[in-house]
Amino acid sequence: MVRIARQRIDDLFGLAEQESLRGEFDLAHRYVVLAREIGTRYNVHLLPEYREVYCRGCSAYWIEGRTVRTRLRSGRRVRTCLRCGRARRTRLRREEPTPPAPGPGRRTPAPFPEGALVGAGEDEGRSPERP
């Protein structure tokens, strides 16, 4: 049953993406709602890649520039839902320095290397910006 639920969630997110690309945002939203309901009923977690593409407040399927706005601000990525206004903040972290480099060369890490985005330590909600 759990396997069927996962399959159905996969299908629904696929459909949601398709419809949102066609501009059918309400339909995409409906698919996300269904997928979340299935996840709740069968106690199946949505995959992390899915959790990045919808609003946790109103279940809107997020398409950059259409249903979500992304801003990088003081080491955080803030994604604001344009449907309900809920903000989702993700901390951006620099790569952990690999074993201390031998020799005198000073290394300057890139500001935000690929894959520096981490899901850990994120918070949500409309709470005011903290310093």
- From residue 80 to residue 99, the character string flagging contacts with Zn ion as x (rule: CB under 5 A) and all else as - is -x-xx-x-------------
Extended strands (E) in the chain:
68-73, 76-81, 87-91, 123-124
Q: Determine whether 48 is exposed, middle or buried from the number of CB atoms within 10 Å of its CB (0-12, 13-18, 19+).
A: exposed
Residue 72 engages Zn ion in binding (rule: CB under 5 A)? no
Interface with Zn ion (CB under 5 A), residue from 58, 63, 92, 116: 58
Which residue lies nearer to Zn ion by CB, 53 or 81? 81
Contact window for Zn ion (CB under 5 A) among 6-14, 24-32, 33-41, 76-84: 76-84
Question: Of 130, 113, 109, which Cα lies nearest the Cα of 121?
Answer: 130
φ, ψ (nearest 5 deg) of residue 57: -85, -50
Residues binding Zn ion (CB under 5 A): 55, 57-58, 60, 81, 83-84, 86
